[in-house]
A and B are shown apart, each in its own frame.
Chain A
Amino acid sequence: MTTKKKLSTKENYRAMVRGLDWEPTYQKHSDIYPFHTFEGIKIHDWDAWEDPFRMTIETYWKYQAEKDRRFYAVLDGFTQSQGHLNISDARYLNALKLFIQGVTPLEYMAHRGFSRLARFMPGSAPRFAALAQSMDELRHAQTEIHALSPYNRYYEGFHSMRLWHDRVWYLSVPKSFFDDAVSSGPFEFLTAISFGFEYLLTNLLFVPFMSGASFNGDLTTMTFGFSAQSDESRHMTLGLEAVRFMLEQDEDNVPIVQAWIDKWFWRSYRVAALVAAMMDYLLPRKFMSWKEAFELYFEEQMLNGLFPDLAFYGIRPPMHVEQAVKEKEYLSHQVYWVLYSFSYAAMFHTTTPEPQELEWFSEKYPETFDKAFRPLWEKASSIAESGGRFYFQGLPQLCQVCQIPMAFTEAGDPTKHVQKSSSYKDEIYWTCSDGCKWIFDREPEKYVQAWLPVHEIYKGNCGGPSVPEVLTWYNDKGDSGEFKGSNDDKNWKRWHSEGVEL
């Protein structure tokens, strides 16, 4: 005979998790939860937030320990077998460098941001979802560091990733993006990260690195990617649930959420510009072009799939989306050209595309590549063939919002740069697009605070006024510049010529 009443999974979960919080009486509710009201979101019934996962802490420990056991077993095998020698080519490492410098610190920042939500969101179901996500994000930061640590022992561009993330110019693009999200209120953070980053654009921001790993023989990053998949599907569900919940709670929330979707679409999309360049130019073996990825993962799945559903709540597709659609023809080329031109101060190596890559670009970008970009690469290649290297002299002007150098052109006219400006308290601020200008004009008091790397270099805040001084401050130990002839290039060739080929 058993004394225990058998509960269904759902009943058991409810009994274990729900009802743990209480309405305080010794202190005011608003003193325990002080941060969620200023955004204007109205919530009437927190209990309407259903956690679809029904995971107890005990189950969480069990699943996660098991997933990590498998992950670290693969990692140990990789390290023991010198798995780094099995990637497609040493040029591939530059995609990984961008990942550990640009993305891994964001995982960590997400962990801290979700800790804040896990503490301060009123409503115990979203607090628990945020707590589990905070733990997951810490997992991702650590497993990524561990997955890429074996590469760091052999290659440039990994050793100071956190310092670079804090200091180096192109990394202020992802850093300012996430700083923007965590410095927002909790509901905006959820919309920005859980919805915008994890749901709307995850297949353009995060997943391309994993697909790139798979196509280029990078076992550890690929294993991480698959291992994180079930976490990510939880995070995506949270993102969609969060937005639906806000929209269902009060009609007054609709315009607020719409403005956040507008803002965070454009903000995330601009970060994805770096991913676009990575996909088209840093992967020796490519899995799809940026344009194809944008069409599949954004136009087809989001614009034609998600947004018709959201129309029910009065939500329309994000503002400026038509600009992003036009840009798919040239985004990756313009951004990689910037990275190539300023490579002397970037903590990964760039080089000119191989002839077969130029053919691939012509095929994938028939409208623009031969006309606007092939001539640039042919010129850069001919400079390289005569023993030189094209670098842009001087520092670029950065967009006040996305912090990408102002290199984007008017749609349909690849020779005309976009330069938008706004005036705030008698100062002029420059932005790269209508999207970024709209974001600036909405919250100028926020964006004037931006730590713009180029401005800071000119102010002398980055080790000194000259490029060598800045590079010392960046802790550049041969991490920057041209790939051909770099330590990575030389070591790779040496390690692959050792041993006897039969």
Chain B
Amino acid sequence: MAYEIKQNVVDPVRVGFDWVERRLGRPANRYEEGSIEVQQEENFHYRPLWDPEHEIFDRSYTALDVGDPYNFLDPRQYYYYTYNQARNKAAEHQQSTLSYAEEFNAFASLPEDLIKVFAETLTPLRHLEYGMQMVMVQMSAFAWGTTIEQAAIYSGFDHLGNAQQLSKLALQFENGVEILDEAKTQWMEREALQPLRRYIEDVLVLSDWGEQFVAVSAVLSPLMYPSLYRGLETQGVGLGEGLSMSTLRYFYDWYLDDQKWVRSFISHLLSVENSSNQEFLRTAFEKWSPGAELALRTLLDDLPDSLDSSEMMAQGISELQVVEELIGGRV
């Protein structure tokens, strides 16, 4: 038996906001309420002084046709609260992984070649993450439709979070601050990192956010996170260094979560009728994937011999192929 409270119930007059009645016909959840038809759409008063060719919000900031942007919903249903909640949880989890590794002195006892991987390969990538952040934030500034730009700003914020988590890994070492300083020099000068830096700088000057999205989220990410982070973790465990190397799981888990909206957004783009989105996606994919592959191969080739870099590269390539199949192959 359950106890029964008599509730003061007043029947509502309407099910929800106007668009809820038009689009759903059922009460909206909080993700939907906070995301659908939120962005201003018409009667903008002034052209931007910094770009008089466009309206303040303008579909033509990309050659993609986003169609009805609210046919795209983030499958993770992240609005501000649920986003922060999910990331807080992931960060707490990472902190406990780090504390556990610290308790067993796992970073200090790493063999030289793996310390080098942290110092010279992973730590410089905090700068790459920073650049990826800027790209996603640009998408958030210019994309048409709240559901789209919202997913982009969270992704951008995540990339900055990744940059800081990489910094945190560097700070596990006694000379952490020097590692961070040195990593900047590596990022600027070391041969193995230059194709990657060139790649992200080339993406940063693009003005079409759709192309930027492909270059970062649909090409570089699928190549990099599975090969480098998942790959290093797997091989590190094989080398008996699971305690420290499992701290890389954070980045791979993040990638898996991020790709949920990325792939769902690609599917949305492909579903827009009478658009040339598929051609756009395939062309952009073909344009950016060679550079990304080169950048990653160069980086992996430079890893110590104790690691099987070709196995890692293969993992990235196979993940990239999944995206390639999703957009229907190359041109």
Footprint of B on A, CB under 8 Å? 1-5, 7, 11-12, 15-17, 19-22, 24-27, 31-32, 35, 38, 56-58, 60-62, 64-66, 68-69, 71-72, 80-82, 85, 105, 108-109, 111-112, 115-116, 118-119, 127-128, 131, 134-135, 138-139, 141-143, 145-146, 149, 152-155, 158-163, 165-167, 172, 175-176, 179-180, 182-186, 446-447, 449-451, 456, 475, 487, 491, 495, 498-499
Contact = CB atoms under 8 A, between A and B. Distances in A.
A403 to B, nearest CB: 9
A135 to B, nearest CB: 6
Given A15-B176, A116-B141, A179-B56, A141 B45 contact: no
Interface string B31-48: 001110111111111111
Contacts of B40: 105, 108-109, 162, 165-166, 175
B84 A65 contact: yes
A154 B140 contact: no
Q: Give the one of A61, A145, A158, A162 with max B CB within 10 A.
A: A61
A458 B171 CA distance: 66
Nearest to B136: A119
A179 B46 contact: yes
Interface stretch (B149-157, B230-238, B299-307, B317-325): B149-157
A183 B205 contact: no
A495 B35 CA distance: 31
B219 interface: no
Contacts of A112: 39, 57, 140-141, 149
Nearest to B40: A166
13 contacts: A4-B172, A15-B180, A16-B167, A19-B184, A22-B197, A25-B201, A66-B88, A69-B85, A112-B140, A162-B39, A166-B43, A172-B45, A475-B18
A32 B9 CA distance: 57
Interface in B1-44: 7-10, 12-18, 30, 33-35, 37-44
A447 B45 CA distance: 8
A161 B40 CA distance: 10
A27 B202 contact: yes
Contacts of A7: 171, 177
B18 A138 contact: no
B53 interface: no
B283 to A, nearest CB: 21
Given A146-B33, A152-B14, A167-B42, 16 more contacts: A2-B102, A3-B102, A3-B108, A22-B127, A38-B50, A57-B160, A62-B91, A65-B88, A109-B40, A111-B153, A139-B81, A142-B30, A161-B17, A167-B43, A179-B46, A449-B47
Contacts of A64: 80, 84
Given A112-B140, A145-B33, A135 B80 contact: yes
Q: Which 10 pairs from chain A and chain B are nearest by CB? A: A142-B34, A3-B108, A153-B12, A57-B161, A115-B141, A68-B81, A65-B84, A20-B130, A179-B45, A116-B141
B164 interface: yes
Given A27-B202, A159-B14, A449 B46 contact: yes
Contacts of B161: 57-58, 61
Nearest to B175: A5
Nearest to B92: A62
Given A56-B164, A446-B46, A5 B141 contact: no
Contacts of A180: 45-46
A4 B102 CA distance: 8
Given A65-B81, A499-B8, A15 B134 contact: no
A82 B37 CA distance: 27
Contacts of A82: 8-10
B79 interface: yes
B204 interface: yes
Contacts of A19: 180-181, 184
B177 A3 contact: no
Interface in B102-130: 102, 105, 107-108, 126-127, 130
A152 B46 contact: no
Given A57-B164, A131-B157, A183 B84 contact: no
A446 B130 CA distance: 35
- Chain B interface residue bracket vs A: 35 or more
Contacts of A20: 126-127, 130, 160, 163
A486 to B, nearest CB: 12
B171 A65 contact: no
A72 to B, nearest CB: 6
Interface of B: 7-10, 12-18, 30, 33-35, 37-51, 56-57, 79-81, 84-85, 87-88, 91, 102, 105, 107-108, 126-127, 130, 133-134, 137-138, 140-142, 146, 149-150, 153, 156-157, 160-161, 163-165, 167-168, 171-177, 180-181, 184, 187-188, 197-198, 201-202, 204-205
A318 to B, nearest CB: 22
A183 B14 CA distance: 37
Given A27-B205, A108-B38, A15 B81 contact: no
A141 B49 contact: no
Given A32-B205, A138-B150, A61 B88 contact: yes
A271 B212 CA distance: 37
Dominant SS among interface residues on chain A: helix
Contacts of B9: 82
Contacts of B187: 22
Given A154-B10, A446-B46, A143 B130 contact: no
A149 to B, nearest CB: 6
B171 A138 contact: no
Nearest to A105: B40
A456 B43 CA distance: 10
B26 to A, nearest CB: 13
A183 B80 CA distance: 26
B134 A119 contact: yes
Contacts of B14: 152-153, 159
B48 A142 contact: no
B205 A166 contact: no
Given A19-B180, A112-B141, A115-B149, A58 B171 contact: no
Given A65-B85, A135-B80, A167-B42, A27 B201 contact: yes
Interface centre among A38, A60, A71, A176 (most CB of B within 10 A): A60
A175 B45 contact: yes
Contact of A3 (B49, B141, B168, B172): B172
Q: Which of A21, A138, A141, A155 has the most CB of B within 10 A?
A: A138
B9 to A, nearest CB: 7
Contacts of B160: 20, 57, 128, 131
Nearest to B15: A153
